[in-house]
Amino acid sequence: MIAGYRIVKNNISVSDYPNYNSFGLIRDKIVSARNYLSIQQLHKLVCNKIADNSFEAIIDYLINTKKVFISKDNKVIWTDQSNNKTKKLIKESVPYV
């Protein structure tokens, strides 16, 4: 269970597999948001364009491949360093000693 969404592996029908455009849409919404979005906020932004099962599969894939991580306050953070928000977060973080 991730933030109120049930992620079930290997239980997705072929018609529910996400396509490249779905990944791009979610990526663009995460990267272009002014503030970090929660999974629920992200889902509301794309709910009319992406099926629920596809959304869950994409979020599951992004978390498992470490392209995003979920903060303690349930915010989705894109970890690609080409993202300006991530660069700022790394710059302001406490260095590992």
- Each residue of 23-77: pLDDT tens digit? 899 999 998 888 899 999 999 999 888 888 889 889 998 988 888 888 888 899 8
Residue 8 CA to residue 17 CA, distance in Å, equals 13
Say if 44 falls within a structural domain.
yes
In a domain, 5, yes or no: no
Distance CA 17, CA 13 (A): 7
Structurally, the chain folds into a number of domains equal to 1
74: domain CATH number is: 1.10.10.10
**Distance spanning both ends of the chain, measured CA to CA:** 34
Domain residue limits at 71: 17-92
Residue 7 within a domain: no
Output the pLDDT for position 29.
Answer: 92
Strand order in the sheet with 37-38: 37-38, 75-78, 68-70
pLDDT of residue 96 exceeding 80, the answer is no
